[in-house]
């Protein structure tokens, strides 16, 4: 074997040896790299778990703080801010009110009325004792025939339909805008005015007047004649949208004029959008075909509540005080409120459904305490523990709101003052005349 051959063989062995060393080094580093990556994954996983725990701990801390704050609020909560009845309790309360009165109407469940039943409803109203006056015009038995004939009793059809009030309207006992006042040239109590119907009130249209200007309708609180121009027929889809909407706003000012539409306190409208400083609501309007249509309006946050207001003393006080100086109007004619509609509108913002008139309210809307045969001192002692409460005398209702400077105060729509006023109850004629107290709790 020559020297070149020996050198070649030794070189080959050297190359193989170096290759073996390199492969060994590569496998070691590969394993180290894999292990390193696995460690990184473990560390990331541990870090992620740690972060999740931290987030959960933060949430737990926040929840604990909320609970702590809520507990503090409960301790520090002003008596006037406590919820008297929850919305669910109010809904149950309404069921009891309906059981106690026959002057609330479930119009969605009135399917059919016979001709005789319709005539009975229409003729349940009688003309008041005559003569009566509209300005200097006297109305007596010789010139009221047209009013009676306009009821169109000889043309009763059975085509009932759903409708919605699109403009605050007067509900009348007869289909006429003629007023019946007791004295010539004195406008006090129009004896043909029954109540006002507010925007978005549902009605059942059951008859039409002879001059085609009036509908006889049944609303949830009253039945009677309203101007056709203030009512729109409604398809079932629109009716459900406006009347049975789950997301809605409640007007909380005594009266708002929005694009020439009067919106009274307690008007309930579908909610469209929530802005920073306002709410977009939907109002019903009457289309050219007489069918209800939808129109968006924007209301400032201060004038509307999202859903019903919580029923608290504080909210009762705020709403009642907002009404002060609102015009008094018998039966809510045209504008303003009378004593019982003031109460009805106020409590409707919380979700209550009251009968329209004092004669029905004073026996159905709450716990009745009889004050008959009580002297003034005894009455005040009873009233002291019932703030807020409703005080009834014959034909009138007042809201008791508590004491200021050792005086008992009421807020009520006063016919003699011509507006809603805040009055001292002590030593007043009102105190002497009240015969019932009603607690709503």
User: What is 198-261 written as a DSSP string?
Assistant: -TT-EEEEEEE-TTSSEEEEE-SS-EEEEEGGGEEE--HHHHHHHHS-SSEEEE-SSEEEETTE
pLDDT digits (tens, 9 = 90+) for 329-349: 999 998 999 999 999 999 999
Q: How far is CA 343 from CA 146, 248, 259, 349, 440, in A?
A: 36, 22, 27, 10, 12
Q: CB-based burial of residue 146 (10 Å sphere; 0-12 exposed, 13-18 middle, 19+ buried)?
A: exposed
Indicate if the pLDDT at residue 388 is higher than 70.
yes
Helix (H, G, I), strand (E, B) or coil at 378: helix
240 and 181 share one domain: yes
254 and 221 share one domain: yes
Domain-embedded: residue 84: no
Q: Which of 66-75, 123-132, 239-248, 370-379 has the lowest mean pLDDT?
A: 66-75
Indicate if the pLDDT at residue 17 is higher than 80.
no
Long-range (24+ apart) CB contacts under 8 A made by 182-185 are 182/132, 182/133, 183/133, 184/133, 184/135, 184/136, 184/138, 185/133, 185/135, 185/136
d(CA 131, CA 149): 18
Q: What is the pLDDT of residue 228?
A: 98
Q: Which of 62-66, 72-76, 232-236 has the lowest mean pLDDT?
A: 62-66
302 and 320 share one domain: no
d(CA 245, CA 271): 8
| Conformational region of residue 273, where left means phi above 0, alpha means psi within -120 to 50, and beta covers everything else | beta
Q: What is the pLDDT of residue 71?
A: 40
d(CA 202, CA 164): 5
d(CA 214, CA 172): 10
d(CA 403, CA 212): 53
Indicate if the pLDDT at residue 170 is higher than 50.
yes
Q: What is the pLDDT of residue 56?
A: 36
Indicate if the pLDDT at residue 106 is higher than 60.
yes
199 and 126 share one domain: yes
Mean pLDDT, the chain, whole residue set: 86
Q: What is the pLDDT of residue 422?
A: 97
Indicate if the pLDDT at residue 8 is higher than 60.
no
Average pLDDT of the segment spanning 120-131: 97
- The answer to whether the CB of 274 falls within 8 A of the CB of 324 is no
Indicate if the pLDDT at residue 16 is higher than 70.
no
- H/E element holding 390? strand 389-393
Q: What is the pLDDT of residue 252?
A: 98
How many folded domains does the chain comprise? 3
Domain-embedded: residue 18: yes
Cα angle 22, 26, 31 (rounded to 5 degrees) comes to 155
Indicate if the pLDDT at residue 61 is higher than 90.
no
Q: How many CB atoms lie within 10 A of CB 94?
A: 16
Q: CB-based burial of residue 332 (10 Å sphere; 0-12 exposed, 13-18 middle, 19+ buried)?
A: buried
Domain-embedded: residue 86: no
21 and 145 share one domain: no
Domain-embedded: residue 163: yes
Question: Which residue from 227, 285, 292 is spatially nearest to 260, judged by alpha carbons?
Answer: 285
238 and 355 share one domain: no
Query: What's phi and psi for 423, nearest 5 deg?
Result: -130, 155
57 and 127 share one domain: no
Domain-embedded: residue 200: yes
What's the pLDDT band for 364 if we cut at 50, 70, 90? very high
d(CA 325, CA 168): 20
Domain-embedded: residue 88: no
131 and 252 share one domain: yes
198 and 64 share one domain: no
Q: CB-based burial of residue 106 (10 Å sphere; 0-12 exposed, 13-18 middle, 19+ buried)?
A: exposed
What's the pLDDT band for 69 if we cut at 50, 70, 90? very low
47 and 114 share one domain: no
Average pLDDT of the segment spanning 258-284: 96
Query: What's phi and psi for 244, nearest 5 deg?
Result: -110, 25
252 and 336 share one domain: no
Q: Which of 308, 330, 359 is the last residue of a domain?
A: 308
Share of the chain above pLDDT 90, in %: 78
141 and 161 share one domain: yes
**Helix, strand, coil share of the chain (percent; to 5):** 40, 30, 35
Please give the model's pTM, rounded to 2 decimal places: 0.81
- The answer to whether the CB of 81 falls within 8 A of the CB of 314 is yes
Residues 6+ apart with CB under 8 A from 348: 265, 266, 354
More confident residue, 382 or 63: 382
Indicate if the pLDDT at residue 48 is higher than 60.
no
What's the pLDDT band for 46 if we cut at 50, 70, 90? very low
Average pLDDT of the segment spanning 142-161: 96
- DSSP type of residue 417: T
What's the pLDDT band for 217 if we cut at 50, 70, 90? very high
Q: What is the pLDDT of residue 11?
A: 53
Q: What is the pLDDT of residue 41?
A: 39
Q: Which domain holds residue 418?
A: 312-439
Domain-embedded: residue 357: yes
- The answer to whether the CB of 336 falls within 8 A of the CB of 323 is no
pLDDT digits (tens, 9 = 90+) for 403-438: 999 999 999 999 999 999 999 999 999 999 999 999
What's the pLDDT band for 140 if we cut at 50, 70, 90? very high
Q: What is the pLDDT of residue 365?
A: 94
d(CA 136, CA 184): 5
Q: Which of 38-42, 200-204, 306-310, 368-372 has the lowest mean pLDDT?
A: 38-42
d(CA 431, CA 412): 13
Indicate if the pLDDT at residue 53 is higher than 50.
no
What's the pLDDT band for 76 if we cut at 50, 70, 90? low
Domain-embedded: residue 343: yes
Indicate if the pLDDT at residue 164 is higher than 60.
yes
């Amino acid at each position: 074997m020559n020297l070149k051959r020996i050198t070649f063989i030794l070189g080959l062995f050297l190359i193989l040896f170096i290759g073996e060393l390199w492969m060994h080094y590569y496998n070691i580093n590969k394993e180290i790299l894999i292990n390193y990556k696995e460690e990184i994954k473990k560390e990331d996983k541990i870090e992620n778990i740690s972060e999740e725990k931290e987030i959960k701990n933060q949430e737990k801390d926040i929840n604990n703080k909320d609970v702590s704050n809520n507990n503090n609020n409960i301790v520090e909560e002003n008596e006037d801010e406590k919820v008297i009845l929850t919305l669910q309790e109010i809904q149950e309360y309404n069921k009891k009110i309906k059981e106690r009165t026959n002057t609330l109407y479930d119009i969605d469940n009135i399917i059919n009325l016979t001709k005789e039943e319709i005539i009975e409803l229409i003729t349940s109203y009688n003309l008041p004792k005559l003569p009566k006056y509209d300005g200097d015009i006297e109305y007596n038995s010789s010139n009221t025939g047209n009013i009676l004939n306009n009821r169109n009793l000889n043309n009763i059809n059975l085509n009932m339909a759903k409708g919605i009030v699109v403009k605050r309207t007067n509900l009348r006992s007869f289909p006429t805008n003629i007023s019946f006042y007791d004295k010539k040239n004195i406008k006090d109590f129009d004896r043909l005015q029954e109540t006002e119907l507010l925007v978005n009130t549902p009605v059942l249209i059951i008859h039409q007047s002879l001059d085609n200007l009036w509908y006889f309708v049944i609303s949830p609180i009253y039945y009677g004649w309203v101007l056709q121009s203030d009512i729109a027929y409604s398809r079932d889809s629109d009716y459900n949208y406006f009347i049975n909407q789950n997301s809605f706003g409640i007007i909380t000012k005594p009266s708002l004029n929005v694009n020439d539409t009067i919106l009274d306190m307690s008007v309930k409208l579908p909610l469209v959008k929530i802005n920073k400083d306002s709410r977009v609501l939907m109002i019903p309007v009457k289309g050219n075909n007489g069918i209800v249509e939808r129109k968006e309006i924007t209301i400032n946050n201060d004038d509307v509540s999202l859903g019903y207001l919580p029923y608290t003393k504080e909210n009762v006080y705020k709403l009642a005080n907002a009404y002060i100086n609102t015009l008094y109007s018998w039966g809510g004619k045209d504008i303003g409120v009378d004593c019982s509609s003031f109460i009805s509108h106020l409590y409707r913002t919380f979700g209550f459904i009251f009968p329209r008139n004092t004669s029905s309210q004073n026996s159905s809307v709450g716990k009745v305490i009889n004050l008959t045969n009580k002297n003034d001192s005894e009455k005040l002692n009873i009233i002291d523990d019932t703030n807020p409460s409703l005080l009834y005398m014959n034909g009138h209702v007042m809201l008791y709101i508590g004491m200021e400077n050792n005086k008992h105060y009421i807020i009520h729509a006063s016919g003699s003052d011509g507006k809603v006023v805040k009055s001292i109850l002590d030593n007043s004629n009102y105190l002497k005349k009240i015969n019932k107290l009603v607690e709503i709790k």
